[in-house]
């Protein structure tokens, strides 16, 4: 797996069409794993490059992630057949990128043909982009949507950690508790 750390406007152009998922993946819980695994599966099925796009931190500085970047990289590398992991730096350029510009970068630079996202996925300036905009941009047959399972969330996992309910945390993550900070 190739790992690239870059800004939104410096993503290098690919030679091959791709299947992409975009997300913070800050807990790598069950829902995140389904999305990443489906990205790898569709890429293989349609002979596309598989790409996970994530971020070096959340846009709000007060919001902590559960898994350190190095551990997130190692986990994705060891558990999924992903060709490229792109870690975007959260900066003013990224925060101010419109939904239209974001999709254009996906199309022009990463040659995105297919995407895998959760039904609650939001992107672009002020979270103006959503699943419906992706469908408009790429076509309904090219967007694979996982219905959001509201019983699984990073916020829920954080609350369980605060209450020292480690067995429940492990169940939510379905991964080794040592991944956590």
User: Digits of tens for pLDDT over the chain (181 positions)?
Assistant: 999 999 999 999 999 999 999 999 887 777 888 899 999 999 999 999 999 999 988 776 555 666 788 989 999 999 999 999 999 999 999 999 999 999 999 999 999 999 999 998 999 999 999 999 999 999 999 999 988 765 555 665 656 566 666 666 666 656 433 443 3
169 domain residue, yes or no: no
144 domain residue, yes or no: yes
pLDDT confidence of residue 166: 65
Rounded Cα distance between 73 and 176, Å, is 15
pLDDT confidence of residue 58: 75
Strand arrangement of the beta sheet that strand 143-146 belongs to = 2-6, 84-88, 49-55, 18-22, 112-118, 143-146
58 domain residue, yes or no: yes
Query: What are the two backbone dihedrals, phi and then psi, of residue 110, each rounded to the nearest 5 degrees?
Result: -100, 0
12 domain residue, yes or no: yes
pLDDT confidence of residue 173: 59
pLDDT confidence of residue 27: 75
175 domain residue, yes or no: no
What are the angstrom distances between the C-alpha of 126 and each of 71, 99, 111, 148?
29, 9, 25, 21
> Cβ distance 18 to 46 under 8 Å?
no
R_g (Cα) of the chain, nearest Å: 16
pLDDT confidence of residue 175: 41
pLDDT confidence of residue 181: 33
The 3-state DSSP class for residue 27 equals coil
155 domain residue, yes or no: no
Number of domains in the chain: 1
pTM over 0.75: yes
Q: What angle do CA 85, 66, 173 make, to 5 degrees?
A: 85
CATH code of the domain in which 102 resides: 3.40.50.620
Residues belonging to the chain: 181
> Cβ distance 18 to 111 under 8 Å?
yes
120 domain residue, yes or no: yes
pLDDT confidence of residue 177: 36
Domain containing 22 equals 2-149
């Amino acid at each position: 797996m190739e790992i690239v750390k870059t800004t939104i406007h410096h993503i290098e152009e690919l030679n091959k069409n791709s299947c992409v998922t975009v997300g913070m993946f800050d807990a790598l819980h069950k829902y995140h794993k389904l999305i990443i695994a489906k990205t790898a599966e569709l890429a293989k099925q349609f002979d596309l490059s598989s790409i996970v796009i994530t971020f070096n931190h959340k846009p709000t500085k007060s919001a902590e992630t559960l898994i350190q970047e190095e551990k997130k990289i190692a986990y994705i590398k060891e558990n999924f057949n992903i060709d490229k992991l792109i870690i975007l730096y959260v900066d003013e350029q990224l925060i101010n990128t419109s939904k239209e510009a974001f999709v254009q970068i996906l199309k022009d630079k990463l040659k995105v043909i297919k995407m895998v996202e959760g039904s609650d996925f939001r992107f672009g300036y002020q979270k103006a982009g959503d699943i419906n905009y992706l469908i408009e941009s790429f076509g309904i047959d090219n967007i694979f949507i996982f219905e959001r399972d509201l019983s699984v969330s990073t916020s829920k996992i954080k609350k369980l950690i605060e209450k020292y309910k480690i067995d429940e945390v492990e169940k939510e993550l379905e991964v080794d508790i040592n991944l956590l900070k």
